[in-house]
Amino acid sequence: NFRDLGGYFTKTDRQMRWGMIFRSGDLSSATLYDQEKIRRLNIKTIIDFRTDNTSKRYPILVHPNIKKISLPIIQMDSKALDDMMLDKNLTQSDAVRKIQDSYISIVENSKEELSEMFEILLDFNNYPILISGSLGKDRVGLACFFILSAIGISQNVIVNDYMLSQEYINVSNVAKEAQSKPEYFQEAVTAIFSVRPSYINYTIDYINQKYGSVDNYIEKELNLSTQNKNLLRKYLLYNQ
């Protein structure tokens, strides 16, 4: 689930620069070939949303010169996903609610980490930047949602980018152990490891209802001022 976040157009028809921000899932199984490809992208900084326990158990395999910054977000970490799967009575609707609740928990309880992410993005010396997690669909998906929102990409385009992870994650491969379980449990596990519009749309609705808009949330809760938002756009958007 590794891809360039560039190429999207803002509401005012400015295009996001290619090769500035990349997003990915777990890099702990990166082969030497993978590591060389990452090195050739000239990535200077990796933001890792995995918890300390997970990152120690599955260390990132990249060139040692690449700076790695840990911003641990507990919700939706690999352990949290594993814990969900321990409930043998888990149904698909239960799983969907758990994912949606976890997203809201990130919005409410990981403001400091998301704010720090923007601070990293505001230092041009850190680019190109790779944003990484376990599967690269949940915490990374929300982080990219806020980044793209901050620079003026339209919401439907951002949701489409969020949904792209569905094409790059092989759910049956990730959740092999569930294949011998009852059908209702397999459906629940599929919901856990899938990417669904209901997850991100539920989060957007929550933010709009509580904070007025996604822009308000980014500005007031994640401390990204108008001045810094303009600086971010200067870094990430091609000149008109």
Contact 150, 229 (CB under 8 A): yes
How many degrees, rounded to 5, is the angle at CA 113 between CA 111 and CA 117? Answer: 110
CA distance to 12, 29, 75, 164, per residue, from 45 (Å): 29, 18, 23, 23
pTM of the predicted structure, to 2 decimals: 0.93
The pLDDT, as a whole number, for residue 86 is 75
Structure tokens at 184: 């209702």
pLDDT profile of the chain (240 residues), mean per 10: 95 96 92 90 96 91 92 85 76 91 96 98 98 93 98 96 85 60 78 90 98 98 97 94
Distance (Å, whole) CA 117 – CA 136: 15
The pLDDT, as a whole number, for residue 88 is 75
The pLDDT, as a whole number, for residue 180 is 59
The pLDDT, as a whole number, for residue 174 is 56
The pLDDT, as a whole number, for residue 193 is 83
